[in-house]
Structure 1
Amino acid sequence: MTERDAGGRLEGRIALVTGAGSGIGRATALLFARHGAKLVLTDLKDADATADLIGESAYWLQADAGSEADLQGAISAAVQHFGGLDIVFANAGISGGLASIFDQDAADWAEILRVNLIGPAMAIRYAAPLIKARGGGSIICTASVAGLRSGAGSGAYSASKAGVISLVKTAAQQLSGSNVRVNAICPGLIETGMTEFIYERARAKGREEQLGHLNPLKRGGTPEEIASAALFLASDESSYVNGQALVVDGGLSSSHPFNNQSYGRTAI
């Protein structure tokens, strides 16, 4: 039994997912497969394990999402193995922890920007012409609520994700008339390998219930919830959505955090 079924929202589509070895990337790859997509999966590790869960409709490569050459190789693999490319989910990223600007040197900034921002830019550069040649499609980049305002990541990480939001807006305009849509997803707190240290620290202190307590849903999110947003943006259901940053954060960014829990609330 593989992850493919008769969902069909991406039937006949060919998709590239970076960072597919775990977390949001793996959840999205599995969901895309269930909806009929053929997939090229990349990561530095465990992309093969994700491909094994999917079966023959997936091809995997070990690749660095911030490497121009590796991205070109992954895009070429989509053409060689499946005949083209319709969807790209430029999802892979690194966090830099919660370091202060004063704790991150130029090398830290360069590496985070290379993977988180330059990687998606190169994915757009090389994938868009192929997607246009097939009549259009969708490019999705993983940004973050950290790119919207401070308090959700290190300085370099936050700047890189703000850059992704700007990138998709610029790319959508520069691809005008191509029928290639470019959008971003801005996750809030999601339990993945990137946030594992936050969850482990909270559990060690017996404070797991406080995770996500600043958003109205009072919880963190799951990779599957971000995957559902990616499926929407990849499918024809979002055919008029372009150049946007879709926020999936439980409502966190709808307000500034505050401590007075009764402010603006209706007792129920």
Structure 2
Amino acid sequence: MRFGNKVVVVTGAGSGIGRATARAFAAEGARVVAADISEAVHATVEGLEGAIAVEMDAGEERDVEALVALACGRFGGLDVFHANAGISGGAAGILDSTVELWAEVLRINLIGPALAIKHAGPRIVERGGGAILCTASVAGLRSGAGGPAYSASKAGVINLVQTAAQQLSTSNVRVNAICPGLIETGMTARAFEYAREVGKEDKLGRLNPLRRAGAPEEIARVALFLASDEASYVNGQAWVVDGGLSSSHPVTRQEFGKPAF
């Protein structure tokens, strides 16, 4: 029960990594506030003692501020905030992406975590310290694992946690990022469903040394470690959980003027 009597907020908790992480925190004793823009978040907390669900927009400052206030008001404080909410932005290339697409992806994927740090950080300090965890991606490490807007936003998340760790120096609040590889989540569901329909499920994740995709629970286990006292000397880092994909990032090169696939 690593999180007994701890208060934990998880955004993007309506499915995938967020749902698995919220449930894992609850299983280890945490009082969980699961948040998502989708009403599916209510299913996440079904059967979880002491957990509550909140519908909100993780890229909207008023919503993030209210979420932190709710957690502190309901449970008396805040110990861990997992800024997990994100969107893919689709498959548009850098020449085809609109300004509106870039703005929305950055709003959710990068400004969202920044708002989480801004509003959760001081409340975690009040508890004597704790952890902030932001979901980045292997796409933020180098090219080849996502679209341009998505990749840039996740690279920003990695730098954000490094900068935040420095600016929260002496506060006893650790800030880290987790970089998943290919995981079956709500964001990637369409690709997984299509692969199953055409009998090519075995091709998913074939570029990493483990030759398979990952499960949300595998990311959740690492997330709990980074948020726990077991990781008390881990700060400002980007932990990669991708089956080894980023050890080489093998990709099919896209030629200028030609489709990627």
Q: Same fold (TM over 0.5)?
A: yes
Structure 1 residues 192 and 138: CA distance shift in structure 2, 3 A: same
State how far apart, in whole Å, the 2-side matches of 1:91 and 1:123 are.
10
Aligned to 1:121: 114
Matches within 5 A, 1:14-53: 14-45=7-38, 46-53=40-47
Partner AA of 1:23 in structure 2: G
Matches within 5 A, 1:246-257: 246-257=239-250
Across the aligned residues of Structure 1 and Structure 2, the Cα RMSD in angstroms comes to 1.1
Partner AA of 2:201 in structure 1: E
1:39 is displaced (CA, Å) by 0.9
State how far apart, in whole Å, the 2-side matches of 1:257 and 1:41 are.
35
State how far apart, in whole Å, the 2-side matches of 1:258 and 1:26 are.
30
Select which of 46, 54, 74 maps to 2:48.
54
1:53 is displaced (CA, Å) by 2.9
State how far apart, in whole Å, the 2-side matches of 1:87 and 1:39 are.
10
1:96 is displaced (CA, Å) by 1.0
Aligned to 1:5: none
Partner AA of 1:235 in structure 2: S
Aligned to 1:79: 72
State how far apart, in whole Å, the 2-side matches of 1:28 and 1:258 are.
29
1:258 is displaced (CA, Å) by 7.2
Give the 3-state SS of the residue equivalent to 1:54 in structure 2: coil
Note the residue ranges of structure 2 that are not aligned, 5 or more in a row: 253-261
Deviations 1:85-110 (A, max 9, x none): 00000000000122201121100000
State how far apart, in whole Å, the 2-side matches of 1:194 and 1:103 are.
21
State percent identity of aligned pairs. Answer: 64
> Are 1:97 and 1:153, in contact at CA under 8 Å, matched by a contact in 2?
no
> Are 1:20 and 1:29, in contact at CA under 8 Å, matched by a contact in 2?
yes
TM-score with structure 1 setting the length: 0.92
TM-score with structure 2 setting the length: 0.94
Question: 2:146 aligned with 1:153, yes or no?
Answer: yes
Number of residue pairs matched by the alignment: 251
State how far apart, in whole Å, the 2-side matches of 1:232 and 1:122 are.
23
Q: Which 4+ residue blocks in structure 1 deviate beyond 4 angstroms?
A: none
Matches within 5 A, 1:84-103: 84-103=77-96
Note the residue ranges of structure 1 that are not aligned, 5 or more in a row: 1-7, 260-268
Partner AA of 2:22 in structure 1: A
Aligned to 2:202: 209
Deviations 1:186-214 (A, max 9, x none): 00000011011211222232211111011
